[in-house]
Structures are given as C-alpha cells and as structure tokens.
Structure 1
Amino acid sequence: MSDDFKRLAAERAAEDVKPGMKLGIGTGSTAEHFVRALGARVRAGLDVVGVPTSERTRELAEAEGIKLATLEELPELDLTIDGADEIDPALTLVKGGGGALLREKIVAAASLSMIVIADESKLVECLGAFPLPIEVNPFGLGATTKAVEACFARNGLQGKLVLRGGAEHPFVTDGGHYILDAHLGRIADAARLAHDLVAIPGVVEHGLFLGLAAKAYVAGKQGVTVVEPAK
C-alpha cells in the first residue's frame, strides 16, 4: 500500500506543474513516481524544463522524455517537488536517505517554492527516528566523525554514527562525498543542530531541511491530504 500512496501523492503534485515552469526534480522512490507522472504530462504536450537532483533522476527523466537543464543554465527555479524521509508539523524535513541530500538542498534552495510528496508514514511529531544523513568530505574522515560526535554531545544527543557502506566500501555520493548516518532517535532542536553541524569544516551538508517546504501532499487510506506548516 505504501507504494500506492507514494504514487497518489506524486500524481497530485504533478497537477501543480504549469506550462513553462522550471522545475527541480527530486530523488527517491516517491520522486520517481512524480517523474513518471510528469513524463506522461510532457508527452501529452506540457512544456517544462527540469533540473534533476541526482544521476538516477536524470536517467529516469530522460527516459520519460522530460527536457532537462542544469543550475548553471537555470539558476532560479519556480518549483521543486521531492520526497522526504521524515516530516514534522513545521514541515521541517529529514532527507537524504538515498544519498542525494546535497544536490537536493541546492536545488530546493534555488526554487521559489518546494512541495514535498510522501506517504503518511513519513509524518512524525519529532524528527530523529529515521537516521539523519550527514554528507562529509572523505579527507579527514576520522577528525570529522569525532567533531560530529562532539556536536551531538553539546546538543544533548546520543546515538550511533555509522559510515554508510562501511570502511571497506563506503557509499559515495554523486558529489564524491561520504555519508555518515546518525541514529539519534529524537532531535528536539533541529535548528540548533543544523547550525552546529554546518560549522564543522569536514561536513559538506546535512539532511535537515528547514524553512524550504511550502506544503506537502501526504497520501494515506483517506486519500491525499495537504499539509502546511504549523503556525
């Protein structure tokens, strides 16, 4: 059922795409449903151009016949549509479970608006149950790991920090970086943690998305619900 819900949310978001839009196109299983829905509209005559957030998304979008560009060619976008791993009532997100968080955040920040698409299992009262991905430079990995652990301690957080893929075969992002997955359980102050993480020199970016999402389409047994940030 979860995959059906993802598809419903993605198809609802595709309805918001207007002719001539410059789109950021997300990464992940829910975003792939959006790419397919967008491709169907493009083949029916919709004229848009997309900026993909990963090589996987680029390949799928090309297969669907969607016209693509880069942020060098289109530095300002109208809308980004992407999935999320967790969504709290303020529409603060945890993203990057697929390892594309840096490109996802760059594209979202270059957009006038962002719509999140998800199934209802992604709604949480407090972020942290899903491991927080942290993209780091391979150089100085040991020092960066210690600095991230010290940052967690200062923020009153405890949990295991795991190099994705392991030391022998670390996962490498499209940008050539590694991912540290932080199993924190609960993140009480996402804004403070986000601020402290980016101050660490070896941290390239983190999976906390604050103030970027304008609304979310969340699908469940009752259909698709529009979720907007709690005031």
Structure 2
Amino acid sequence: MADLEAEKARAAKRAVEEVRDGMLIGLGTGSTAAYAIRELGARVKAGLKIDVVATSTAADKLAREAGLAPLDFGGVARVDITIDGADRINPNLEAIKGGGGALLREKIVGAASDRLIIIVDSSKPVELLGGFPLPLEVLPFAHAWVTRAITDIGAKVRLRRQGNGEPFLTDQGNLILDVDLGEIEAPVALANQLDLIPGIIEHGLFVSEIDCAIIGRGDQVDIVYKSDCRGKS
C-alpha cells in the first residue's frame, strides 16, 4: 500500500526546489500544500530570501508557525510561483480543487501566478475528473436558487457543514455546495456552464490555470507539464 503522506512530502520537496531568492510565492491550502509551507519555512531559516502570500487564513496561520510572514494579497498583482494541492487531476492538468474550502482565493492567486505548480500523491491523478465532489462557493442569498439550478442539470447537491452541524463558511463568509456530477467528461464546457449561473461566486474546476503537476509515486516523483512549466507568457 502506498504511503500517501510520504508521497505528498516528496512532491512538495521537489516543488520547493523551483523556488529561488527574491521570488514571491503563493501558498496553497490543504494537507499537501502544508508540506510545501513547512519545507519553505525550513529553507527560509537556512537563508532563503522570499516573500509569500497565503490562499486562506489556515495557510496564513501555518505559514506564520513555519517562520514565514505572508503579505496581504490585496496589494499584490503578480506572483512568481504558487504551490498548491488538488483533490483530483487529469492528464490535461484540469483539476478539482476546493476540498479545503479555499477555491476562490486559490483560483485568484493561481491566476496571478507566472507558474501554478500542483503537488499531489498517487491517489489524486485520474483519467476523468470525478470521484470527488465538485465544490461551489455560493453567495448565501442565492443558496436555494443555485441548489435548484444545479439539481436541474442532473447533479446531487449537498451543503457543506462543520462538525457541529452548522454550515461551513469560507473566508469570504460564503457557503460551499458539494456537487456530485459523476464523471466529468468535458471540464471546460462544465466550467463555462457554471460560470453562467448567478450566485455561484466560484467553482472548483481549474481548467486553464495549472502549469505543471508534481506527483509523488512511491519513492519517485513524476512531473507532468503543460507547455514547459515556465509560465503563462
């Protein structure tokens, strides 16, 4: 059986090797991105000089615990590299993200980045996206309407809740709907369809943002490139 935590750590370490002095680095959210944050913290303690921005309050907290001092992204227009995880990713580097509820900020920071590097363990790559609910960040005002609209296209919809039963709220104070669509054969078409539904602030389909994926497989890492992983120029 694969040691998925070791694979996450190995992928994160390889991603962090791309970081150089003077860069501004986006910090992803979730259990895999956490390995990259801690690895960056260790490199900073060893003398690396970088600035960072975080994609969530959770990532910000972890970064500070690792000795990093995230900047306010509100004043940032461009990021050199963002290192983040994914819940599922296909061979075209289209992914489902948002299991941690930070999909809106992750997509904004990823879009602002010259390179978005996704790090995953061997359980996350799939031929067709699916097997994991697609998160939608939804304006509370539009919760019932969006649920109806998504149900009408044949999906099963569940409001994400916290352990105490209360609705989960994003850092922006919005709700998350977790949507089961089965296998997603046309991610770009679905993303375009979701973009047209008023009330959906953002969806967890990343169809154009990712530049490369680093996949931990046993004691190796595989790197899958879109273009040459040198950026979106």
Same fold by TM-score greater than 0.5: yes
TM-score normalised by length of structure 1: 0.93
Matched to 2:203, the amino acid is: H
Separation (CA, whole Å) in 2 of partners of 1:198 and 1:89: 23
In structure 1, the partner of 2:202 is 205
Separation (CA, whole Å) in 2 of partners of 1:222 and 1:229: 23
Separation (CA, whole Å) in 1 of partners of 2:224 and 2:191: 23
1:161 aligns with 2:163: no
Deviations 1:188-225 (A, max 9, x none): 11111111111111100000001111111100125111
- Structure 1 residue 159, shift from structure 2 partner: 3.6
In structure 1, the partner of 2:34 is 32
Deviations 1:87-115 (A, max 9, x none): 10100010000111011001001111110
Deviations 1:146-193 (A, max 9, x none): 12223xx2xxxx442100118x61111111011110112201111111
Separation (CA, whole Å) in 2 of partners of 1:3 and 1:80: 21
Separation (CA, whole Å) in 1 of partners of 2:226 and 2:80: 20
- Structure 1 residue 24, shift from structure 2 partner: 0.8
Aligned length: 225
Separation (CA, whole Å) in 2 of partners of 1:225 and 1:146: 41
Aligned residue for 1:30, secondary structure, equals helix
- Structure 1 residue 74, shift from structure 2 partner: 1.9
Residue segments in structure 1 that go unaligned for 5+ positions in a row: none
Separation (CA, whole Å) in 1 of partners of 2:52 and 2:40: 10
Aligned residue for 2:52, secondary structure, equals strand
Moved over 3 A (4+): none
Matched to 2:223, the amino acid is: V
Q: What are the within-5 Å matches in structure 2 for residues 29-178 of structure 1?
A: 29-150=31-152, 153=153, 158-165=154-161, 169-178=166-175
Q: Is the 8 A contact 2:7 2:219 kept in 1?
A: no
In structure 2, the partner of 1:214 is 211
TM-score normalised by length of structure 2: 0.92
Q: Is the 8 A contact 2:94 2:205 kept in 1?
A: yes
Q: In percent, how many aligned pairs have the same letter? A: 47
In structure 1, the partner of 2:188 is 191
Aligned residue for 2:74, secondary structure, equals coil
Q: Is the 8 A contact 2:94 2:207 kept in 1?
A: yes
In structure 2, the partner of 1:21 is 23
Residue segments in structure 2 that go unaligned for 5+ positions in a row: 228-233
Matched to 1:27, the amino acid is: T
Q: Is the 8 A contact 1:129 1:184 kept in 2?
A: no
- Structure 1 residue 73, shift from structure 2 partner: 2.3
Aligned-pair RMSD on alpha carbons? 1.7
In structure 2, the partner of 1:2 is 4
- Structure 1 residue 67, shift from structure 2 partner: 2.8
Deviations 1:54-86 (A, max 9, x none): 111101101111131122222111111100001
- Structure 1 residue 120, shift from structure 2 partner: 1.1
